[in-house]
Structure 1
Amino acid sequence: MNAELARNICRYRKEKGFTQEDLAKKLGITFQAVSKWETAQALPDSSLLPRLSQELGISIDKLFGYASHDKAVTIYEEEYKLPDYYWGLEPAKICLKVLELLPPSRPLKLLDIGCGEGKDSVFFARNGYDVTAFDISNAGIEKTQRLAEKAGVHLKVFKSDLLDYRLSGKFDILYSSGVLHYIKPSLRQEIFSNYKQFTNPGGLHVFNVFVKKPFIAPAPKKEPASCQWISGELFTYYHDWLIQECSEVIFDCNSSGIPHKHAMNKIIAQKL
């Protein structure tokens, strides 16, 4: 609990652009007190929690890591409620690269970050990986569970917000497709540092992210929570890892029923 609270105070303070001194002045306390909160050496007095949450622009529940999402938080929530699978059932081609580079000849733990309706998670589980997956969509989680049951495989799936979730246990493979554009620029360094820290030696990160190009029109389906990435930005987080593959592709998409194009950066990096 202390560690989660400390991490959240630091994260949301930085997201607001406050220094420790700035936050301390707003609360009428010393910056040393804020420093102790953020290093889990002390807890804020309960009388300060309403003011602290107000200054950070979040609820007290979210400050303690208990935020819930009772309303739709993704534009795909309604599509995921339909019987058909919005993204289909065929796994992404990049999944095959994982099998090639790090086959499950021994027990390997894989995390699918933003699993959607679960087609890639279930594919990995069917091929022998120990799969954990999360998504922010209730409907997506339910479809992932149903798909796993139908395939006769077990995987651990839970609900979480990409912006709030941090790893605390080691994985061999971190995988995410079509999700990382939801990470705010102010959180990218922290999130990728966490992902790298909790990856076992020899492990893989297999990620892609949409990038903005001036010659490609915006997608017809607006995503208010999406944040812009630029070409090559994803690669900079892996300068100290072995880059197995990095590429940029432009591809056709018809997910909204209106033909359009996307530009995407893809990286497969290995921790040595």
Structure 2
Amino acid sequence: MIESKELVSYWDNAWNSNDSIEVNTFAEAALKIVKSENKNTLLDLGCGNGIDSLFFHHMGLSATAIDLAQKTIDSLKNEHPEIAWYCQDIKDPIHHISKQDVVYAHLSLHYFEDDVTAKIFRNIAEILNEDGLLFVKCKSTKDPLFGMGNHLGGNRYHHGHTRNFFTVGYMMQN
């Protein structure tokens, strides 16, 4: 398993470049549902370069965002103080944030061992309002990368970095 220090370095470097700032179709689809359900607050769990958080904010939601990459979060705080940005490992409890109508996790939950993934889902359940919405996009066993690299057990492989490839059944149990 990659240690948190290595992950911080990896993601600080990954988001250090000026990547495309186009909003993805997953965020657009989530927004349609969020708006139809009249939800107002959203936590972007593993926000990366912040593009989805900014999109949701500009579409009228009160956005809060968490990511592990300190340099990126510091930069986002300076450039966009209208969003609550937190540098935090998503494995840690998120008690310091108020309950949310929506938790959005775009490609941020598939890096962990099974017990850690279950813990993250418990943390999400604690922060999500009773009638809240959860949006998760993750790598699946149907992804072209599935099976590539060093097999770590179960559906986990290390190829560039570690990924846990989800199945529908796996999602249901968590």
What is the TM-score normalised by the length of structure 2? 0.76
User: Does the C-alpha gap of structure 1 residues 161 and 131 become closer, same or farther in structure 2, counting only changes over 3 Å?
Assistant: same
Counterpart of 1:222? 160
Q: Residues 121-270 of structure 1: matches in 2 within 5 Å?
A: 121-145=53-77, 148=80, 154-167=82-95, 169-213=98-142, 216=145, 218=148, 222-223=160-161, 226-237=162-173
Bigger RCO of structures 1 and 2 (CA < 8 A, at least 6 apart)? 2
Q: Residues 11-90 of structure 1: matches in 2 within 5 Å?
A: 73-82=8-17, 84=18, 86=19, 88-90=20-22
Identity %: 22
What does the per-residue CA deviation read over 1:192-251, in whole Å, with 9 as the maximum and x for residues that have no partner? 12312331133110011112459646389611xx2423422453147xxxxxxxxxxxxx
Moved more, 191-200 or 174-183: 191-200
User: Does the C-alpha gap of structure 1 residues 195 and 72 become closer, same or farther in structure 2, counting only changes over 3 Å?
Assistant: closer
Q: Is the 8 A contact 2:43 2:64 kept in 1?
A: yes
Q: Is the 8 A contact 2:93 2:123 kept in 1?
A: no
User: Higher strand fraction: Structure 1 or Structure 2?
Assistant: 2
CA distance in 2, matches of 1:106, 1:232: 27
Shift of 1:160: 0.5
Shift of 1:185: 0.8
Gaps of 5+ in 1: 1-67, 239-272
CA distance in 2, matches of 1:215, 1:94: 19
RMSD: 3.0
Larger Cα-atom Rg: 1
What is the TM-score normalised by the length of structure 1? 0.51
Extract structure 1 runs of 4+ deviating beyond 4 A: 104-107, 213-217
